[in-house]
């Protein structure tokens, strides 16, 4: 098991190295060669030994196995449903325009141009839904992701948590200026004790917590290992749950000074919500959001050994359902005549936060962006904003172009830096193409 964990860490190191090397070709099988159906992962009774994917040996978290894993998480770890409830599914109208695959864009870090279809393959997309004015205009699935299936949405999860938190601030249940310790006294002496709810929501906390996937000693690894997202080594004596880990996080620097993307903020935000409401994240998601979108499928969360949801990244949804969620956001929080998310919360996200505070985080492809209520705001001329997750998970909302793009992927490199040079100009070019239509 130690070997498995080490391998995961090494994969991350190598992925990071490639990400840093700029234009160097990735040292990975390309999308076609790594197609999980072609490779035959987990096919057979039993599958051949070299086509088995297991949790305990860490194989599930290695590329190219991840191309299968991200569409099959519940087969590997315990989960909890986010129920769609009794609301009938709202059919997604389709007006498919296959020619949109040819929409061209210039890659951010070169003078080369590519098509939208190139972007799909180059970034190891598993599925994509483009909606324009509420209709599906482009839709594609490959590999292990089926139209009726589920996919890990990774840190898109945070954007749901952010909406819940901001909604509870909006309705007065939470005080955004109050310290976390007002709601979670057990965190008083830890790193989060004097951070405010607002600082959690905007990730401007100062915490001793590295999200550097290249560093096997980064706290992000301890965090997910505590929560059972990674297997625990044989003689593991560390925290056994997400909550136990969060108690160990220490302060570093000052809160409120700069944006610093740290997954723990989302888990603490979710903990506050659970404590105040007495309800699990799954039930809160279902009650406040998922049951009101007209989705087709329950979603689900991966959970730790005591049933606590991984609020920083454990949500798994259907792709069309994610597009429905995006449409609700584009429609200022409404589904039909029902206000699902307060309009003020959506407006607050669209408005964004401080690009100056954001700039300090140094994202090469996100110049001028900001981060608000756990969403990424481009501040471009279309007012586009995103929910973003590792390995290429994206929900891109372009209000001016009346466009929503939901995209799941399994890029070998975790960091968004590897996808952005392709995806950001591709999304913008698609918006332009859609706006040109009379």
Closest to a second copy by CB, 86 vs 337, is 86
Q: Which of residues 148-187 bind a second copy (CB under 8 A)?
A: 148
Q: What tokens appear for 382 in the block?
A: 């279309």
d(CA 56, CA 76) in angstroms, rounded, equals 9
| Least distance between a second copy and beta carbon 145 (Å) | 14
Stretch binding a second copy (CB under 8 A), from 83-91, 161-169, 374-382, 413-421? 83-91
Residues 273, 180 contacting (CB under 8 angstroms): no
The single residue among 8, 28, 34, 55 that binds a second copy, judged by CB under 8 A, is 55
d(CA 150, CA 142) in angstroms, rounded, equals 13
Residues 393, 153 contacting (CB under 8 angstroms): yes
Does residue number 47 form part of the binding site for a second copy (CB under 8 A)? yes
Q: Which of residues 364-423 bind a second copy (CB under 8 A)?
A: none
Q: Give the strand pairing for 113-115 and 104-106.
A: antiparallel
The single residue among 7, 62, 83, 121 that binds a second copy, judged by CB under 8 A, is 83
Helix (H/G/I), strand (E/B), else coil: 34: coil
Q: CA 8, 10, 15, 19 torsion: positive or negative?
A: positive
Does residue number 77 form part of the binding site for a second copy (CB under 8 A)? yes
Phi, psi (degrees; rounded to nearest 5) at 246: -60, -30
| Least distance between a second copy and beta carbon 78 (Å) | 5
Does residue number 243 form part of the binding site for a second copy (CB under 8 A)? yes
| Least distance between a second copy and beta carbon 81 (Å) | 7
User: Which residues are CB-contacts of 23 (< 8 A; sequence separation ≥ 6)?
Assistant: 109, 110
Relative orientation angle of helices 219-226 and 264-277, to the nearest 10 degrees: 40
| Least distance between a second copy and beta carbon 188 (Å) | 16
Does residue number 192 form part of the binding site for a second copy (CB under 8 A)? no
Q: Give the strand pairing for 135-141 and 125-132.
A: antiparallel
User: Which residues are CB-contacts of 45 (< 8 A; sequence separation ≥ 6)?
Assistant: none
Does residue number 430 form part of the binding site for a second copy (CB under 8 A)? no
Does residue number 308 form part of the binding site for a second copy (CB under 8 A)? yes
The single residue among 40, 81, 216, 399 that binds a second copy, judged by CB under 8 A, is 81
| Least distance between a second copy and beta carbon 79 (Å) | 5
Question: From residue 263 to residue 302, what is the string marking binding to a second copy with x (rule CB under 8 A)?
Answer: --------x--xx--x-------------------x----
Closest to a second copy by CB, 83 vs 109, is 83
Closest to a second copy by CB, 135 vs 241, is 241
Q: What tokens appear for 65 in the block?
A: 């196995």
Closest to a second copy by CB, 152 vs 303, is 303
Closest to a second copy by CB, 304 vs 348, is 304
d(CA 245, CA 219) in angstroms, rounded, equals 10
Dmax (CA) for the chain in angstroms is 64
Q: How far is CA 232 from the centre of its chain?
A: 23
| Least distance between a second copy and beta carbon 421 (Å) | 36
Closest to a second copy by CB, 59 vs 157, is 59
Residues 395, 406 contacting (CB under 8 angstroms): yes
Closest to a second copy by CB, 318 vs 373, is 318
Q: What tokens appear for 294 in the block?
A: 């007209």
Does residue number 38 form part of the binding site for a second copy (CB under 8 A)? no
Does residue number 241 form part of the binding site for a second copy (CB under 8 A)? yes
Stretch binding a second copy (CB under 8 A), from 69-77, 128-136, 249-257, 366-374? 69-77
d(CA 409, CA 407) in angstroms, rounded, equals 7
d(CA 171, CA 169) in angstroms, rounded, equals 6
Helix (H/G/I), strand (E/B), else coil: 272: helix
Closest to a second copy by CB, 100 vs 161, is 161
Stretch binding a second copy (CB under 8 A), from 51-59, 193-201, 214-222, 319-327? 51-59
Give the Cα-Cα-Cα angle 399, 421, 98 (nearest 5 degrees): 60
Does residue number 78 form part of the binding site for a second copy (CB under 8 A)? yes
Stretch binding a second copy (CB under 8 A), from 67-75, 192-200, 358-366, 396-404? 67-75
User: Which residues are CB-contacts of 55 (< 8 A; sequence separation ≥ 6)?
Assistant: 76, 77, 231
How many residues belong to the chain? 438
Count of residues near a second copy by CB under 8 A: 35
| Least distance between a second copy and beta carbon 394 (Å) | 25
Q: Which of residues 90-149 bind a second copy (CB under 8 A)?
A: 148
Residue by residue, DSSP assigns 150-167 as -EE-TTHHHHHHHHHHHH
Enumerate binding residues for a second copy (CB under 8 A).
Answer: 42-43, 45-47, 52-56, 72, 74-81, 83, 85-86, 148, 241, 243, 271, 274-275, 278, 298, 303, 305-308
């Amino acid at each position: 098991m130690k070997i498995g964990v080490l391998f995961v860490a090494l994969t991350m190191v190598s992925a990071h190295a490639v990400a840093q090397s700029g234009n160097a070709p990735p040292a990975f099988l390309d999308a076609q060669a790594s197609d999980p159906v072609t490779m035959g992962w987990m096919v057979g009774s039993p599958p051949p030994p070299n086509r088995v994917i297991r949790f305990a040996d860490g194989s599930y978290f290695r590329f190219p196995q991840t191309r299968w894993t991200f569409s099959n998480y519940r087969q590997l770890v315990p989960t909890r449903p986010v129920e769609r409830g009794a609301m009938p599914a709202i059919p997604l109208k389709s007006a498919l325009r296959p020619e949109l695959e040819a929409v061209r864009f210039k890659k951010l870090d070169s003078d080369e141009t590519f098509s939208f279809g190139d972007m799909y393959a180059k970034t190891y997309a598993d599925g994509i839904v483009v909606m324009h004015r509420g209709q599906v205009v482009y839709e594609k699935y490959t590999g292990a992701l089926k139209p009726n299936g589920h996919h890990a949405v990774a840190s898109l999860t945070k954007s749901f948590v952010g909406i819940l938190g901001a909604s509870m601030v909006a309705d007065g249940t939470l005080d955004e200026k109050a310290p976390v310790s007002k709601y979670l006294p057990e965190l008083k002496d830890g790193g989060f004790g004097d951070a405010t709810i607002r600082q959690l929501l905007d990730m401007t906390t100062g915490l001793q917590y590295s999200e550097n996937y290249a560093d096997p000693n980064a706290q992000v690894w301890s965090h997910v290992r505590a929560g059972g997202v990674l297997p625990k080594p044989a003689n593991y004596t560390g925290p056994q749950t997400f909550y136990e880990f969060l108690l160990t996080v220490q302060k570093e620097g000052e809160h409120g000074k700069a944006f610093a993307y740290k997954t723990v903020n989302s888990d603490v935000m979710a903990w506050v919500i659970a404590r105040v409401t007495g309800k699990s994240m799954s039930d809160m998601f279902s009650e406040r959001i998922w049951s009101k979108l007209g989705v087709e499928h329950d979603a689900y969360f991966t959970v730790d050994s005591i049933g606590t949801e991984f609020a920083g990244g454990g949500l798994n949804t259907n792709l069309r359902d994610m597009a429905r969620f995006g449409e609700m956001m584009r429609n200022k929080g409404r589904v039909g005549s029902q206000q699902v998310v307060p309009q003020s919360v959506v407006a607050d996200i669209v408005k964004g936060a401080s690009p100056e505070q954001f700039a300090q985080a140094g994202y090469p492809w996100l110049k001028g962006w900001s981060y608000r209520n756990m969403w990424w705001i481009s501040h471009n001329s279309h007012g586009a904003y995103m929910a973003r997750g590792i390995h290429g998970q994206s929900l891109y909302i372009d209000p001016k172009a009346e466009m929503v793009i939901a995209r799941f992927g399994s890029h070998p490199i975790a960091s968004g830096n590897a996808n952005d040079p392709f995806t950001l100009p591709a999304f913008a070019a698609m918006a332009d193409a859609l706006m040109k239509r009379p």
